[in-house]
Amino acid sequence: MKKLLSNSLCIAFFAILTSCKTLGLQVDHFPITKKHLPSSFVRSPDPQQEIDFQGEMILVYYNILKSELKEDTAIYLELLFKDLSAQTLCLPIFKVKGVEKIEFLNEDFLSHGPIIGYRATLYNYETKSPLWVKIIEIDGKRLQRQSKQ
């Protein structure tokens, strides 16, 4: 009897743990270079190794309730680049759970520099990087970087 009760409690506890869903957004940010190719890890021949490229990849993971999914549901991803330019992307979603991938390679990457901050919003869910700041404009002019010469 004790063993049956013990097994029932374990099954109930496992069911509770596996039924919990983490709702919201998560953002991961990765560099992309030749050394990040799978062929670099296994040292196999790869034509991609001959191409000189660099960039970054952002993965946005989302999980929302089915009742929140509407026709116009979208993730708004605000990016802040090293040259202090900003870009806002609208990523429409059609499922309650998924991953969106954004890549900045070569000219896109070199024209702005690396991404230094991001903020993703979806309804009341929000995630942002520790370096996220809103760029301040005074009289319609954006403050420029000051460099010492």
pLDDT at 5: 43
**pLDDT tens for each residue of 102-141:** 988 878 787 888 888 999 999 888 888 887 777 777 776 6
**pLDDT tens for each residue of 47-96:** 777 777 788 889 999 999 988 888 889 999 999 988 888 889 999 999 99
**pLDDT tens for each residue of 25-36:** 999 988 887 777
First to last CA, the chain: 82
DSSP 25: E
Residue with tokens 């946005």: 60
| 120 in Cβ contact with 102 (< 8 Å) | no
**Where in the chain are the domains?**
22-142
Neighbours of 83 (CB within 10 A): 12
- Which residues on adjacent β-strands are paired with residue 88? 78
The residue ranking higher by pLDDT, 40 or 122, is 122
Select from 2.60.40, 1.10.287, 1.20.120, 1.20.58 the CATH code of 22-142.
Answer: 2.60.40
